[in-house]
Amino acid sequence: EAKRSGPGHWRQFTSDLSETQQRRVQLERRLRAALQAQRGHDQGFSVHYQPIVGLAGRQAVAFEALARWHDAELGWVSPLEFIRVAEESGLIHDLGAIVLHCALRQGRAWSEAWNQPVSMSVNVSSTQLMRCDFLEQVMSALEVTGAAASSLILEITEAVVIQDVELVNSRLQALRDRGIRVALDDFGTGFSSLAVLGTLPIDVLKVDRLFVKDVAQNARRQALLAAVILLGHRLGITVVAEGVEETSELEVLQILGCTHVQGYLFARPLPPAQISGPAHLNLAEPVTAPHNTRAAD
């Protein structure tokens, strides 16, 4: 931390900056190396899966794929850090392709093992979506892995909306025309939330944990959550509450008519070997079915 005053102040400040820059450069170098080494191998990157739970059936209706990276030099690096570097350096296209293939392959394996369709929800950066060959890449991933288009959900964030809205809409519509679903992730943390809902062709709305955290003790958050859930349902969109950690949060969500949740209360993101089936959840106690729940799917 920089000192408040004295001759050391600037030196301290600039050395902090360069540490950040050094880390950035190192991350990009290691990320590039890892992506090259990845070809044909299984080192460096992996994908963990977190259930998206339908409260009506009390089991996973989909699994969100979350990228994990362990580097020999850097150790475990958070996706919050390496995804940003990957986006800024253009490496996100290769990384995104790895995650997509991995998730679709896993989804297909599970659907065969469990003898039922399994949906996979995969995060997509706006730079990926905006690339002109994105649809082709997704269709090829579906073909190579043998996964059904209807088993794929692509999660985008409000960041796409600062792009050309018409173009984004046509990209999303093209995906949906093929039977792929689109989710709007981290809803409520971006800029034009309401405008986005009025225009974007989406199937799922993921309400950010910001609105879920301590909702039982926070009347304002409760009001916002109630409105978003109602709005989503009125628009025919499935609303998923993200980051549910506490039973008290779940109780409020159920009272507000929320049908789908995701969070540590049910399961952490796990390596696939640790997931035994769609009902593999932390819950010892059955969740009480709310009176006003709509059919799950």
Q: Which amino acid is at 61?
A: V
Tell the smallest beta-carbon distance from residue 80 to ligand C2E (Å).
5
Q: Which residue's CB is nearer to Mg ion, number 71 or number 158?
A: 158
Residues in the chain: 297
Q: Which residue's CB is nearer to ligand C2E, number 46 or number 169?
A: 46
* Contact partner at residue 232 from Mg ion, ligand C2E, none, CB < 5 to 8 Å by partner kind: none
Decide: is 264 part of the binding site for ligand C2E (CB under 6 A).
yes
Decide: is 119 part of the binding site for Mg ion (CB under 5 A).
no
DSSP letter, residue 159: G
Q: How far is CA 67 from CA 36, 59, 158, 216, in A?
A: 17, 23, 20, 31
> E strand or H helix at 169, and its extent?
helix 165-177
Q: Is the separation of the CB atoms in 49 and 275 below 8 Å?
A: yes
Q: Which residue's CB is nearer to ligand C2E, number 79 or number 257?
A: 79
Whose CB is nearest to ligand C2E? 263
CA–CA dist 296, 253 (Å, integer): 15
Q: What binding mask, one character per residue, do residues 176-215 give for ligand C2E by CB under 6 A, x or -?
A: ---------xx----------------------x------
The one among 79, 190, 257, 290 contacting ligand C2E by CB under 6 A: 79
> E strand or H helix at 58, and its extent?
none
CA–CA dist 293, 297 (Å, integer): 11
The one among 123, 145, 151, 254 contacting Mg ion by CB under 5 A: 123
Ranges assigned E (strand) in the chain: 45-54, 59-71, 75-77, 120-123, 152-157, 181-187, 204-207, 238-241, 260-261
> E strand or H helix at 268, and its extent?
none
Name the pairing type of β-strands 59-71 and 120-123: parallel
Tell the smallest beta-carbon distance from residue 1 to Mg ion (Å).
28
> E strand or H helix at 149, and its extent?
none
Q: Exposure of 232 by Cβ count < 10 A (0-12 exposed, 13-18 middle, 19+ buried)? A: buried
Decide: is 243 part of the binding site for ligand C2E (CB under 6 A).
yes
Q: What binding mask, one character per residue, do residues 91-120 give for ligand C2E by CB under 6 A, x or -?
A: -----x--x---------------------
Tell the smallest beta-carbon distance from residue 262 to ligand C2E (Å).
6
Q: Which residue's CB is nearer to Mg ion, number 30 or number 182?
A: 182
Q: Name residues contacting Mg ion, limited to 170-229 (CB under 5 A).
A: 185-186, 208
Tell the smallest beta-carbon distance from residue 244 to ligand C2E (Å).
6
Contact footprint for Mg ion (CB under 5 A): 123, 155, 185-186, 208, 242
Contact footprint for ligand C2E (CB under 6 A): 50, 66-67, 78-80, 83, 96, 99, 123-125, 155, 185-186, 209, 243-245, 262-264, 269
